[in-house]
Amino acid sequence: MGVVDIPAGLDGFTADFMTSVLRHQGWIAHTNEVVRMDEAGVGMTAGYFSALKRVRCTYREPTDAPTGFVIKTWPALEIMPRETIAGYFRRDLAAHAGFAADEFYPRPRLLLAASDEPRNRWALIMEDAETFATHKVHETELTLAETRSLIPHLVDQAVRWEGCDQGAAAARLDAIGVHLWASPANLDVYRAVLAAGAPFLDRMLAMPRWITPTWPDVLGPDFCQAFTRRYTAFFAGVHPDAGATCTLSHGDLRGDNLFLGPPGPANPDGWLVIDFQLMHRGPVPSDLAYLLTSGSVRPDVYSGDNLRLILREFYDGFMASTRRYPAYRFEQFEREYAAMSTVLFVYFVGMGAAYWQAGAFRNELAARVELGNGGATEADLAPEELRQRMWWRKAHANFREMFRTFDVYGRLQTLAPDDPPPVFSELPAHLR
C-alpha cells in the first residue's frame, strides 16, 4: 500500500490503522477519523486459513463510508505449510482486487488488499456484507428454492470461464497461482496431510456417538484411508488431458462464504461470495458439487429427487449457453460432479489432520471429545468449538449421502493404488 505498515496480527488493525486506510483510499475526508471501533468475531467455520474480525467504525464527521468491515490476516494456527497458506492469500488478494465486476464472482466492496511478503504480513479489508445481505451461515441451510435460485448464477460463472485451461484465461490464472485441481502441483499439496488425517477421521466416523448410521455401515470400512490410497487415480479423470471440461471454481463455495439478498447498490446481482483462498480450475460442475456437499443446504436438497432436479437444471442451463463444450453429455457431467463432490472431503481429511491429531494426542481442540483420552465432553467446549462440530456433523452426513448416491467407495475399488503408497500416521494406543 505504501502508506502504512501492514500489522503483524489482528490486534494491530486498530482505529488509527483504519483511519489511515480509509483516508488513503478516499473513503473518508482527511479531516475525518475513526473515533471508535467495536470488534466481534466471525464464527469458527470461517477462518481456517486466516484470522478474521468484524468491526463497526464510528466516525468523527458524517460520511457516506460504510461503518461495517471484515478484516482478514494471517492465521494464529497454521494447519498447512506456511508457503501453502501464503499461496492461499495471494489468490484471495488477487481475486478480490484483480477482476472486474462483469468477469468474476460478485464480491463485497474492497477497501484494502495488500501484502508484505518478506515479513509475512497480509491484509484484506472489505465491506461487511452482513450489513445489507443475509449471511447463509451453516446454522440456516439453504432451502431448495434458495439453492435453485443460485443455479443461473453458477451456470453463468461456469460459462464465463469455460476452457480456462488454455489461452489467455489460463495465463491469467497461472499468474496468480490458480492451479488445475487435478494437476500434480495441486494434488501434491494435500497428499501428505491426507495420510496424516485419514486414520483419525476414519476412527471418528465409525463412532455411533459421532454419526449414525456410521460411515462403515453405509459406505464401507475405512473410507478415508481407501480414498487416500487411490487419491491420484481417483482424480485422474477430471484433468483436461483426460477429456474433462474445465472452468474456474471458487474453491470454497459454502454458506459461511455466501450472502443472499434483494438486489441493491451494494449487491446488484442478489448474491455475493467471499474467501477465494482455495480457488482452482476444475470441471464445469465443480462449484455446484462443492455447495451441495458442504453442509450448507438442507438434507432434502442434497438427496433423492431434488438432487436429480438440481443436477439437470444446472446441466440444461449450461448446455443452453456453452460454446466450448457443445457435445458435453449428461453422463460425463454426472461423473465429473461425483468426482468433484469429494473436494471438501479432501479438505476435511487432510487440512483437518491438525484438528484430529490435536484431539487424539494432546486432548486439544474440538475433536478431543471423540479422539482424546482426557474425558472431555461437549460441556467442556467453547462456543466456537461447538459451532465447528455442528458444521462437521452436517458435512459428514452430507458427504455420506453423496458418496452413497454415487457409490464412490465402489469406484475406488476399481482403481489401482497409488505408487508409492501413502504412509499413514499411527493412532495412539487408546484409539487402536
Kindly list the structural domains of the chain, giving each domain's residue range(s) and its CATH number in brackets, ordered by start: 10-131 (3.30.200), 134-431 (3.90.1200)
- Are 402 and 213 in contact by the 8 Å Cβ rule? The answer is no
Instruction: For 192-213, write each residue's pLDDT tens digit.
Output: 899 999 999 999 999 999 999 9
- Are 379 and 274 in contact by the 8 Å Cβ rule? The answer is no
Q: What CA–CA distances, in Å, run from 165 to 171, 315, 320?
A: 9, 20, 21
User: SS3 of 164, please?
Assistant: coil
pLDDT of residue 5: 87
pLDDT of residue 1: 40
Q: Nearest-CA neighbor of 22 among 129, 92, 132, 126?
A: 126
- Are 89 and 122 in contact by the 8 Å Cβ rule? The answer is yes
Percent of residues, the chain, with pLDDT higher than 70: 98
- Are 54 and 39 in contact by the 8 Å Cβ rule? The answer is yes
pLDDT band (50, 70, 90) for residue 266: confident
User: Cell 476414519 identifies what position?
Assistant: 202
Exposed (0-12), middle (13-18) or buried (19+): which is 175, by Cβ within 10 Å? exposed
Strands 280-282 and 247-249, bridge-based pairing: antiparallel
Q: Nearest-CA neighbor of 361 among 370, 351, 348, 371?
A: 371
How much is the average pLDDT of 262-283? 94
Percent of residues, the chain, with pLDDT higher than 90: 93
d(CA 425, CA 156): 42
The secondary structure of 187-223 as a DSSP string is: HHHHHHHHHHHHHHHHHHHT-TTTSSS-HHHHT-TTH
CA within 13 Å, CB half, 265: 3
DSSP 259: E
Q: Nearest-CA neighbor of 280 among 320, 330, 240, 322?
A: 240
pLDDT of residue 4: 67
How much is the average pLDDT of 233-237? 97
- Within 8 A by CB and 6+ apart from 145, the residues are none
Q: Is the pLDDT of residue 81 over 90?
A: no
| Beta bridge partner(s), residue 271 | 260
Strands 51-59 and 68-73, bridge-based pairing: antiparallel
The secondary structure of 339-378 as a DSSP string is: HHTTHHHHHHHHTTHHHHHHHHHH--STTHHHH-SS---G
Q: Nearest-CA neighbor of 357 among 292, 257, 264, 426?
A: 426
Instruction: For 86-95, write each residue's pLDDT tens digit.
Output: 999 999 999 9
Supply 82's cell numbers: 506456511
d(CA 183, CA 138): 31
- Within 8 A by CB and 6+ apart from 227, the residues are 194, 198, 234, 342, 345, 349, 408, 412
pLDDT band (50, 70, 90) for residue 43: low
- Over the Cα atoms of the chain, what is R_g? 22
d(CA 156, CA 147): 15
Q: What CA–CA distances, in Å, run from 282 to 168, 201, 276, 340, 400?
A: 17, 26, 14, 8, 22
Instruction: For 100-135, write each residue's pLDDT tens digit.
Output: 999 999 999 999 999 999 999 999 999 999 999 999
How much is the average pLDDT of 142-152? 97
d(CA 430, CA 432): 6
- Are 269 and 306 in contact by the 8 Å Cβ rule? The answer is no
How much is the average pLDDT of 261-290? 95
pLDDT of residue 352: 95
DSSP 174: H
pLDDT of residue 78: 86
Phi, then psi, of 52 in degrees rounded to 5 = -135, 155
User: SS3 of 122, please?
Assistant: strand
d(CA 417, CA 267): 47
How much is the average pLDDT of 271-289? 97
Q: Nearest-CA neighbor of 99 among 289, 308, 273?
A: 273
Strands 134-135 and 51-59, bridge-based pairing: unpaired
Q: Is the pLDDT of residue 2 over 50?
A: no
pLDDT of residue 76: 84
pLDDT of residue 44: 47
Supply 37's cell numbers: 471501533
Residue count (the chain): 432
